[in-house]
Amino acid sequence: MIFPFLKTLFLSLRRGPATRRYPRVVRTPFPGTRGHLVNDAGKCIFCGVCARRCPAGALVVTRTPAHWTLDPYRCIVCGYCVEVCPKKSLRMEPWHRRESGGARGQG
C-alpha cells in the first residue's frame, strides 16, 4: 500500500521541484511569444501609420515635435503595428514588461 507513495516520493526527490523560484528564476519564453512592444527610435520616421492602425488606441505619434508614445495599459499586444510599420522599426520582445516599465530579462 505504501509502495506507490514511496515510488512517487523518490521520483520527486530525484527530479527536483516542478516549480521555479520566481521571480529570481524566470522561465525562458516560448518562440513567438509576444511580451512587449519596442520601437527603434533610430529607424522611426514618425509617420503615424502604427497609431492609425492600432485597434486599441495605444499609440500616439506626432511629427513636430517628433514623438512616439505607447500606453502599455491599453496595448493588447496584437502585433499589428509591427506588421504595418514601413520602416520596420517596431518589434515584439518576448519578455513581459515589468511594473516599473522595464523589460524582464533572462534568469
Q: Residue 53 CB, nearest distance to ligand SF4 (Å)?
A: 6
26 binds ligand SF4 (CB under 6 A): no
Binding region for ligand SF4 (CB under 6 A) out of 6-14, 18-26, 73-81, 98-106: 73-81
- Number of residues near ligand SF4 (by CB under 6 A): 27
80 binds ligand SF4 (CB under 6 A): yes
The answer to whether the bond into 23 is cis (omega within 30° of 0) is yes
Task: Please give the grid coordinates belonging to residue 12.
Answer: 520527486
Question: Which residues form the interface with ligand SF4 (CB under 6 A)?
Answer: 37, 39, 44-50, 54, 56, 58-59, 61, 68, 70, 75-81, 85, 87, 89-90
